[in-house]
């Protein structure tokens, strides 16, 4: 679980909905309120979108990769254009926020079977080549980082449901953060399903299941924040 000593939390929300309409925002807020730590950083990538990466970002990234894994303070020396300088200036602070966090909390609704574009833009930018690899040892700088994914879906995607196999939200996030070096044992996933059961007629028969799923998610969030 989460060690409250010398603890730092990076909290990201990505729902386009306002707080009153967003299950993920409400759940992550509950986590943050119950969490005990020493430093807290909040980023709302829906309200303040991270700029999409450009050709200058990818060009700089390829140039860095040709030099192997570099310390972050060596990247600026490889910048060749004003556009690349702007891209690195946009990218480095986001990477540093991730590196400074002992725990990363993400609120992620399912949009069109996957994650919101606002979150994908943040992920694309922080996934700069070698950013989370120790240049000396080759080990992941995120190997001790804890990841809490708070996910919400309007319907159900479990085995036996009509949309089983259409969940590209959870597998993507698992794969992406695994690639960045977050250990599976340090990753926790909280899922609330059938969140639209109260307002979509076709899901009206799943209201009890929705209530149980949300209650379980609230309990899991509380346990993770205080355990």
Q: How confident is the model at residue 105 (pLDDT cuts 50, 70, 90)?
A: very high
172 is in an annotated binding site: no
Maximum pairwise Cα distance, the chain: 60
15 is in an annotated binding site: yes
1 is in an annotated binding site: no
- Is 62 within a domain? yes
In 3D space, the residue among 133, 27, 57 whose CA is nearest the CA of residue 12 turns out to be 27
**How much is the pTM?**
0.94
Average pLDDT over residues 187-198: 96
Average pLDDT over residues 33-42: 91
Query: What tokens does 122 get?
Result: 């943040």
Q: DSSP 3-state assignment of 192?
A: strand
User: Which residues face 82 on adjacent strands?
Assistant: none
- Is 56 within a domain? yes
Looking at 66-206, list the stretches that DSSP marks H as alpha helix, in order from N- to C-terminal side: 82-100, 117-126, 170-179
In 3D space, the residue among 214, 165, 166, 170 whose CA is nearest the CA of residue 189 turns out to be 170
Instruction: Report pLDDT digits (tens) over 116-165.
Output: 999 999 999 999 999 999 999 999 999 999 999 999 999 999 888 889 99
111 is in an annotated binding site: yes
- Is 26 within a domain? yes
- Is 3 within a domain? no
Distance CA 203, CA 162 (A): 13
- Is 2 within a domain? no
Q: How many domains does the chain have?
A: 1
- Is 1 within a domain? no
Average pLDDT over residues 180-184: 97
Instruction: Tell me the C-alpha to C-alpha distance, in Å, between residue 110 and each of 59, 138, 152, 156.
Output: 31, 34, 6, 11
Q: Is the pLDDT of residue 4 over 50?
A: no
Average pLDDT over residues 11-24: 97
Q: Is the pLDDT of residue 6 over 70?
A: no
In 3D space, the residue among 169, 181, 99 whose CA is nearest the CA of residue 137 turns out to be 181
Looking at the chain, list the stretches that DSSP marks H as alpha helix, in order from N- to C-terminal side: 23-34, 55-65, 82-100, 117-126, 170-179, 207-226
Looking at 159-206, list the stretches that DSSP marks H as alpha helix, in order from N- to C-terminal side: 170-179
Average pLDDT over residues 97-120: 97
Q: How confident is the model at residue 37 (pLDDT cuts 50, 70, 90)?
A: confident
In 3D space, the residue among 207, 131, 150 whose CA is nearest the CA of residue 9 turns out to be 150
- Is 36 within a domain? yes
31 is in an annotated binding site: no
Whole-number mean pLDDT of the chain? 94
- Is 179 within a domain? yes
Distance CA 25, CA 109 (A): 9
Q: Is the pLDDT of residue 58 over 80?
A: yes
Range of the domain at 28: 8-226
For position 114, which CATH number holds? Answer: 3.40.50.360
């Amino acid at each position: 679980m989460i060690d409250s000593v010398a603890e730092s939390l990076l909290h990201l929300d990505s729902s386009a909905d306002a707080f009153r309409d967003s299950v993920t925002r409400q759940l992550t807020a509950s986590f943050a309120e119950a969490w005990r730590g020493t430093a807290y950083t909040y980023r709302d990538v829906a309200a303040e979108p991270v700029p999409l990466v450009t050709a200058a970002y990818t060009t700089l990234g390829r140039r860095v990769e040709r030099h192997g894994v570099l310390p972050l303070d060596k990247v600026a020396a490889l910048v060749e254009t004003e556009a690349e300088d702007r891209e690195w200036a946009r990218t480095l602070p986001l990477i540093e926020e991730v590196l400074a966090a002992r725990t990363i909390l993400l609120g992620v609704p399912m949009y069109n079977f996957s994650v919101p574009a606002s979150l994908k833009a943040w992920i694309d930018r922080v996934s700069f080549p070698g950013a989370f690899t120790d240049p000396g040892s080759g080990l992941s700088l995120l190997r001790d980082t804890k990841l809490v994914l708070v996910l919400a879906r309007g319907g159900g995607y479990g085995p036996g449901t009509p949309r089983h196999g259409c969940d590209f939200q959870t597998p993507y996030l698992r794969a992406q953060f695994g690639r960045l070096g977050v250990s599976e044992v340090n990753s926790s996933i909280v899922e609330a399903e059938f969140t639209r059961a109260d307002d979509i007629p076709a899901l009206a028969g799943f209201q009890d299941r929705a209530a149980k799923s949300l209650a379980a998610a609230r309990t899991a969030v509380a346990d993770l924040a205080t355990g």
